[in-house]
Amino acid sequence: MRDFLNSTINTIVVAKFTKTLLHKFLSWKSKHLTHQQFLMMLSAIIGFVAGLFAVIIKNLTHLIQHLLEGEFIANYHEAFYFIFPVIGLLIVWFIIKFILRKNVGHGIPTTLYAISRQKGIMKRFQMYASLITAPITVGFGGSVGLEGPTVATGASLGSNISRMFLMNQASRTLLIGCAAAGAMSSIFKAPIAAIIFAIEVFSLDLTLASLLPLLLASVSAILTSYFFFGSQIILPFELQDTFQISEVPFYIMLGILASVTSIYFSKIYFNSTKMLSRITSPFARMMVAGLGLGVLIYFIPPLYGEGYNVVNNLLHENYLQALGTNFFNDYLENIWVVVALLAGLVIFKIVASSLTFSAGGVGGIFAPVMFMGSAMGHCFALIMNNSGLLRNPISVSNFTLVGMAGLMAGVLQAPLTAIFLIAELTHGYELFIPLMITAAISFMITTKFQPHSVYTMELAQRGDLLTHNKDHNVLTLMNISRVIEKNFIPLHVDMNLREVIHEGVIKSSRNIFPVIDDKRNFIGIILLDDIRPIMFDEKMYDEVKVSDIMQRAPAIIDIENDRMKEIMAKFQDSNAWNLPVVKDGKYVGFISKSKLLTAYRQKLIEFTV
């Protein structure tokens, strides 16, 4: 008992000391640092820690893979391809259910949701949840990437640091973007592409005030990566072939192919996830999807893990090593068998990734996109070179690189990130023109049929997506429940005029009354102007019923389904000053145009400060 009391006292003392220290620091900061100076200082720190998280996640994954491929199971590794993913997913399921006891979520979509609907506030457990679960998922063969979990881990750090120092929502969102830039800069050693990624994906404003913190975060993260990994990069490759103007038609064709593949990616991803979500038991879903993943990897070993080793082999035109040991080894001398197998990698990689996510695995889609893009570009180049239609063969390695950019531009809908990332990875800009051609075509065609990326599709469907449109963002960030007014007196549909006057008109300060039934279902409205001509005629008191004088509302706001954008449109279309709000058909209150506009102005000020 004494030990428990001592421990409790020590905890309280430490908490008070920390709070006092923080209070003193905030007081010192307010006197000696401007807001922008402190923001830049924090961005550098967050970039460094985000880079450190990237190093930890990567090393943990490699450690697990090294242990699984060690000598004690080397002779059985191929036979265990189908069971390793199930073991990893089972461990992750156990950790989430019994240790974390919270839903980890999928990296970047979770972060985007926190920005749009939770004012950039992310829970503390998110700083370490992905750090534990993502390496286990990928290390045991889950066919997903590590970029998303790394970004989410850093973003949660940025969110919680900004909360600790009492920063506003705009600064909190910027620090989340700094964490994302730091994570991508550390992983790929591509600081410019990392900054563009944060701006494109997180819809940050491109101003000097936001650019400098992003720059500091990206630089500090890449220095962290150089400190731990030296000059080693994830895709060590330098261009061997120069761009030829005669290849432009083929890059156009590659852009069209990339758009088709991007649409296929999104359709399979969402449809397969939706189908498997019908299995209500998380454990049963994990076993079904995990075993399906294991079987798929057993027959197609290159689908194991992130797949960057496959990408590197394709870049160096070692397609035999990229395909690995498979059931068609005796036929690989036939180039068309190779083409078919590469096409199979493009088709089945997203299936494997979807199974991993459905089974409860934690990861991202950035690596699968690059994997599929490289296989697609390589396959396309081999088809062209072996078709007998070309006098001079096209560069297989160049089309492998540009294929990755094309698919990133389509699936992630981040064309600038795709262009600059591939340009930085190859240490030059010789491929800038074909990168621009393919990425632009892929992006334009894909967005025509698939207006949102896989990161933002679900958020957009719910109306929770932030974009570069500031007005749209302000409307998205507004909270409907805070503008609902409830000081309206409901009238029952069976009331007579006498009851309306005594129970409604006399007691209310408003000139509009909602009409409801016994179950509080909303039926219509009565305006004071509707009863003014007869309200002083006592002969009418018992004869006139509410149902005789009520009218339909010009528009109804559904609190469950309508977002601020739809609400503003309803006010504009109906020319009404007050509109009723319902939930499941039941009356909740009213929203007035004046209060809505006041809330909009307040949110706009808060969003832009």
CB 175 within 8 A of CB 155: no
Give start and end residues of each alpha helix (H) in 359-503.
366-385, 396-411, 415-425, 432-449, 457-462, 470-477, 497-499
Residues 426-456: tens digit of each pLDDT: 776 788 999 999 999 999 999 999 887 777 7
- Cα(111)–Cα(501) distance, rounded to whole angstroms? 52
pLDDT digits (tens, 9 = 90+) for 11-57: 554 455 555 676 666 666 667 678 788 888 999 999 999 999 999 99
**Side-chain half-sphere exposure of 137, counting CA atoms within 13 A:** 34
The pLDDT > 70 percentage for the chain reads: 86
Q: How confident is the model at residue 78, as a pLDDT? A: 60
What φ, ψ does residue 557 adopt, rounded to 5°?
A: -100, 125
Tell me, yes or no, whether 219 and 353 share the same domain. no
- The model's pLDDT over 71-97, given as tens digits with 9 standing for 90+, comes to 545 455 566 677 888 899 999 999 998
pLDDT at 5: 47
pLDDT, position 256: 96
Instruction: Tell me the residue range of the domain where 571 lies.
Output: 473-608
Q: What is the pLDDT of residue 469?
A: 47
More confident residue, 254 or 72: 254
Considering 188-197, 270-279, 319-328, the range whose residues carry the highest mean pLDDT is 188-197
pLDDT of res. 4: 46
Co-location of 379 and 518 in the same domain: no
Short-list 117, 203, 120, CA closest to 163? 120
Residues 215 and 261 in one domain: no
Which residue, among 542, 546, 581, has the nearest Cα to 561 in the 3D structure?
A: 581
Instruction: Please indicate, yes or no, whether residues 373 and 507 belong to a single structural domain of this protein.
Output: no
Given a cut of 90, is residue 122 above it in pLDDT?
A: no
Note the pLDDT of residue 79: 62
Co-location of 97 and 129 in the same domain: yes
For the sheet containing 522-527, what is the strand order?
A: 491-492, 512-516, 522-527
Does residue 238 belong to any structural domain of this protein? no
CATH code assigned at 553 = 3.10.580.10
Token couple for 59: 């090393």
**Residue 286 contacts residue 89 (beta carbons within 8 Å):** yes
> What pLDDT, in 10s, does the model give residues 564-580?
778 888 888 888 888 99
Considering 433, 464, 495, which residue would you say is the last residue of a domain?
A: 464
pLDDT mean over 501-523? 88
How does pLDDT run across 544-562, given as a tens digit for each residue?
888 888 899 999 999 888 8
pLDDT tens for residues 477-487?
566 777 888 88
The alpha helices in 300-414, defined as continuous H runs, are: 308-315, 319-323, 335-358, 366-385, 396-411
Query: Does some domain include residue 239?
Result: no
Residues 445 and 574 in one domain: no
Using CA atoms, how far residue 94 sits from 53, 63, 102, 225, 511, in Å, is: 23, 20, 11, 32, 58
The pLDDT of residue 505 is: 85
Based on the fold, state whether residues 220 and 159 are members of the same structural domain: yes
Given a cut of 60, whether residue 128 has pLDDT beyond it is: yes
pLDDT digits (tens, 9 = 90+) for 199-250: 888 877 667 777 899 999 999 999 998 888 777 778 888 777 888 888 999 9
Instruction: Report the domain count for the chain.
Output: 4
Q: Is position 599 within any domain?
A: yes
- 283, 428 in Cβ contact below 8 A? no
Is 242 a member of any domain? no
Predicted pLDDT at 65: 85
Residues 155 and 179 in one domain: yes
pLDDT at 70 over 90: no
Tokens 């290390």 identify what position? Answer: 139
Residue whose C-alpha is closest to residue 438's, from 407, 480, 474, 478: 407
Amino acid in the structure at residue 496: N
| Tally of helices (H runs) and strands (E runs) in the chain | 25, 7
Q: Residue 118 pLDDT > 60, yes or no?
A: yes
Proportion of the chain above pLDDT 90, given as a percent? 32
Indicate the burial class of 463 (C-beta count within 10 angstroms; 0-12, 13-18, 19 or more). middle
CATH number, domain with residue 393 = 1.10.3080.10
Q: Are residues 213 and 78 part of one domain? A: yes
Residue 443 lies in a domain: yes
- Identify the domain boundary among 441, 464, 487: 464
Residue, of 591 and 169, whose pLDDT is higher: 591
Give residue-wise pLDDT tens across range 296-308. 988 888 898 888 9
Half-sphere exposure of 483 (CA within 13 A, CB side): 28
Residue 240, in any domain of the structure: no
Separation CA 304–CA 229 (nearest Å): 24
Q: Tell me, yes or no, whether 438 and 367 share the same domain.
A: yes
- Domain check: are 446 and 487 in the same one? no
Phi, psi of 526 (to 5 degrees): -125, 130
Reported as a pLDDT band with limits 50, 70 and 90, residue 474 is low
- Return phi, psi of residue 190, to 5°: -135, 80
pLDDT for the residue 82: 77
Same domain, residue pair 451 and 483:
no
The answer as to whether 77 is a domain residue is: yes
- The encoded tokens of residue 289 equal 């999807």
Helices (H), 82-190: 84-94, 107-117, 129-139, 147-164, 169-188
Structure tokens at 160: 């919680």
Cβ pair 338, 382 in contact under 8 A: yes
**Cα torsion through 261, 266, 272, 273, rounded to 10:** 150
pLDDT at residue number 468:
47
pLDDT value, residue 607 = 54
Report the 10 Å Cβ neighbour count for 519. Answer: 7
pLDDT at 436: 95
Min mean pLDDT across 148-152, 365-369, 377-381, 461-465 is at: 461-465
Which tokens go with 523? 């039926």
Is residue 116 pLDDT above 90, yes or no?
no
Note whether residue 234 is domain-resident. Answer: no
Average pLDDT, the chain: 83
Cα distance between the two ends of the chain:
51
